[in-house]
Structure 1
Amino acid sequence: MSSPLVPTRRRTLLGAAAFAVLVVLLLLWAKWAPYTARVGELVGSRAWSGSSVVAAAGITPGSGPSLTAGWEFTKVYALAVWKALVAGLVVAAAVQTLLPRRWLLSLLRRRRDTSSALVGGLLSTPSMMCTCCTAPVANALRRSGAPTAGVVAYWLGNPLLNPAVLVFLALVAPWPWAATRLVVGLLVVVAGSALVARVAGGRVPAEAAEQVQDAHDGGPRRFLPVLARTAAWLVPEYLVVVLLVGTFAGWLFPLGESARSWGVLAVLVAVVLGTLLVVPTAGEVPLAQGLATAGFGPAVVGALLIALPAVSLPSAVMVVGALGRRVVGWTVLVVAAGAVVAAGLLSVL
């Protein structure tokens, strides 16, 4: 008589295999193939082609609110990230329905928050998503019971430790830019995420905790319902907040040429408002290059290399239900502190 554990073990292995194949195919389509082609282009040209998302939407730094500008910003941004957003939503559903929960927790639950953050950061490097597109996966990890340090590190590690962006910076910018991004990025992702877990607490918010078990009941049969529910919940919220950010982008990014004389104030503006503005993957590169060309010092550039990609107002809104306000708030503060460190480091390199 066969053991009842055999079908369960078989389903577990099949689910894990389906998860791995799905993730590889999605990342190959949305990230790995496009970035490989982009690296090939940059090796030949050594110059970044294309403008920033702010410039492409026709927004002038310091300009007043405009719904037309907000709509243009939303269109430009959506065209840049739609593949990654689709991949993020599908991977999030797969985490909750295909990946064995005990495997996930055994990987991310460590005795020390620093170890959990290190694992989360390492897991983030292959997916290479922007902060908003990785938000659905961070939500799924948290609702699966993953610890705060590991989830925050995965959320921040996607944009900050993105190996493709590090290569982009090495090819088109002075070497201290890539060095600053790597060193401060590691500090924020590992030490910063562990600090967030320590000071903000590790409990799953009540509304997220209620879904932990439910999200993993039914296995593959629940994949499409979970995907539909996640998309219906996050996508409209995401687009509305991006539209609002685009509408006020002139105020959120007021660093025009006149701001060159602001000194330390320009750095503080870059730190604070860089955490609010949303950019696609590598969107910080043309923005930072444009400011450097306009005469801004390395401190402003260094701050933006961390603050712009790491978090944004839309991504914070997307994860607050799963992570909680305290965790998100402390994460933003940690990113801001990292941006200050990057401003100082790039200034001395």
Structure 2
Amino acid sequence: MQSTLRQPRVALGWIVFLLIAVVGLFYVKWFPYYNRAFVAASQHSIGKSILMGASSSAPPASWQAAIDYALAYGKAIWQAMVLGLLLGSAVQALIPPQWVARALGRTDFSSVVKGGLMSLPGMMCTCCAAPVVAGLRARQAAPGAAIAFWLGNTALNPATLIFMGFVLGWQWMGLRLALGLVMVFGLGYLVNRMVTPKEAEASREAMAQLVSTDEPGTAFTRWVKILGTMTLRLIPEYIVLVLILGAARAWLFPHIGPSIDNSLLWIVALAIAGTLFVIPTAGEVPIIQAMLSFGMAAGPAGALLMTLPLISVPSMAMLGRSFPTRVLTVVTLAVVVCGVISGLLAIVLGF
């Protein structure tokens, strides 16, 4: 009888979750990006660089620089961040934990593939995807599957790839797609291989407890509680880190011009800077376009192509409790190395 009564509640939870996902993504991502694709095709631009505007250098480090960047960045991403928090909390409150375990709980390559494919409709920036990743991990999704979902939102974003083709050139889009596939599925597989027997056993015990425990209150009250907890835990540190990075733009990205050549030093330096910095979805496209127009070489641009969108200091901080430190360390180093490889390939291929 209890199972019979539970079925309508589970079905209602799924309906609400899917409505939020479909309506939210249509309003925040799919429809705006559909229109922007025509702008990219006709004007070969999707706007100014959020990093430096029309200038060849970022403003000096100051409170004003921090506030200006935080406001511009916040204006670009706040709707997606709200959607990310709603979905990240809804995953934990509205979807049965067994479903997450069946779909993404195995520490094999199949869960990585599923996580990567599930990311494609999201098209979120690394920080807006982070609450959803946190929600999946709270429901014991395998680390590699969650990493594939996280990186897939940025590296394989279909809209960004289209913008990139029209604005930067289809050779840049091809480079991004090829390396993005390697990063999403290869790194996801590697992270799953890093799971220790002790961690796997702890995950099984946590899942068994989630399934057997009858959580108090209705699904709606649990959802509100989880949403509030996630917001209070993730957003304050996120805002502080965005302010710090906004002020530090001048240090991370010096004066852009022909002096930034194809030397390995510049490629490595900008790969590290791109890994640390935070941008909105597709923000790397106008940033790289502006830098190339000021005379920067293709190698450093290739490094930024793969590092600017994938991760950032704020997104890593938001997921600090969701993954072991060694996993986030490996992901960070892998993104830097991928950026260096991307820069070197841009030189070899004659971009």
Q: Is 1:344 aligned to residue 344 of structure 2?
A: yes
Identity in percent? 35
- TM-score normalised to structure 2 length: 0.91
User: Is the 1:200–1:327 contact (alpha carbons within 8 Å) kept by the matching residues of 2?
Assistant: no
> Is 1:93 matched up with 2:89?
yes
Q: Give structure 1 stretches of 5+ with no counterpart.
A: none
Match of 2:49 in 1: 52
1:118/1:150 contact within 8 Å kept: yes
Decide whether the 8 Å contact of 2:262 with 2:298 is kept in 1: no
* Alpha-carbon distance between aligned partners in 2 of 1:271 and 1:244, rounded to the nearest angstrom: 19
1:42 deviates by 2.1
Aligned to 1:110, the other structure's residue is in SS state: coil
In structure 2, stretches of 5+ residues that fail to align are none
> Which AA in structure 2 matches 1:92?
G
Change over 3 Å in CA distance of 1:235–1:111 after alignment to 2: closer
In 2, Cα distance between the equivalents of 1:340 and 1:276?
A: 14
Aligned equivalent of 1:13, options 2, 6, 11: 11
Contact 2:262/2:299 (8 A) holds in 1: no
Cα root mean square deviation, aligned: 2.5
Query: C-alpha separation between the residues in 1 aligned to 2:60 and 2:33?
Result: 35
Question: 1:260·1:266 contact (CA, 8 Å) conserved in 2?
Answer: yes
Deviations 1:158-179 (Å, cap 9, x if unpaired)?
Answer: 1111000011111222111000
Q: Tell me, what secondary structure is at the counterpart of 1:310? A: coil
* Residues in 2 aligned to 1:6 and 1:194: alpha-carbon distance in whole angstroms: 39
Distance across 2 between alignment mates of 1:159 and 1:216: 36
- CA distance in 2 between counterparts of 1:216 and 1:291 reads 55
Following the alignment from structure 1 to structure 2, what is the Cα–Cα distance between the partners of residues 182 and 261? 24
Shift of the 306–263 alpha-carbon distance from structure 1 to 2, 3 Å rule, reads same
Aligned: 1:229 with 2:224: no
Show the counterpart of 1:82: 78
Change over 3 Å in CA distance of 1:306–1:255 after alignment to 2: farther
What are the within-5 Å matches in structure 2 for residues 1-349 of structure 1? 3-45=1-43, 47-56=44-53, 60-61=57-58, 64-110=60-106, 112=108, 114-199=109-194, 201=196, 203=199, 213=210, 217=215, 218=217, 219-254=219-254, 256-257=256-257, 259-261=259-261, 263-349=263-349
Letter paired with 2:278: V
Give the drift of 1:29: 1.3
Cα distance, 1:35–1:262 mapped onto 2, change above 3 Å: closer
Distance 1:102 1:58, change over 3 A: farther
Report the Cα offset of residue 57 of structure 1.
Answer: 10
How big is each residue's C-alpha offset from its partner over 1:269-319, in whole Å with a ceiling of 9 and x where there is no partner?
111111001010000001111222222222212111110000011111111
* Distance (Å, rounded) in 2 between the aligned partners of 1:69 and 1:91: 32
Give, in whole Å, the separation in 2 of the partners of 1:110 and 1:261: 45
Contact 1:197–1:327 (8 Å) recurs in 2: no
1:200 shift after superposition: 6.3
Quick one: distance in 1 between partners of 2:140 and 2:255? 41
CA contact (8 A) 2:57 2:255 kept: no
Cα distance in 1 between the residues matched to 2:41 and 2:55: 29
Count, aligned residues: 343
- 1:333 maps to a residue whose letter is L
Distance 1:48 1:200, change over 3 A: farther
Question: CA 1:67/1:200 → structure 2, altered by over 3 Å: closer, same or farther?
Answer: farther
Secondary structure at the counterpart of residue 342 of structure 2: helix
Q: TM-score, normalised by structure 1?
A: 0.91
Structure 2 SS opposite 1:132: helix
Q: Deviations over 1:220-245 (max 9, x none)?
A: 33111111111111111111110011
Shift of 1:199: 3.5
Residue type of the partner of 1:344? L
Equivalent position SS for 1:240:
helix
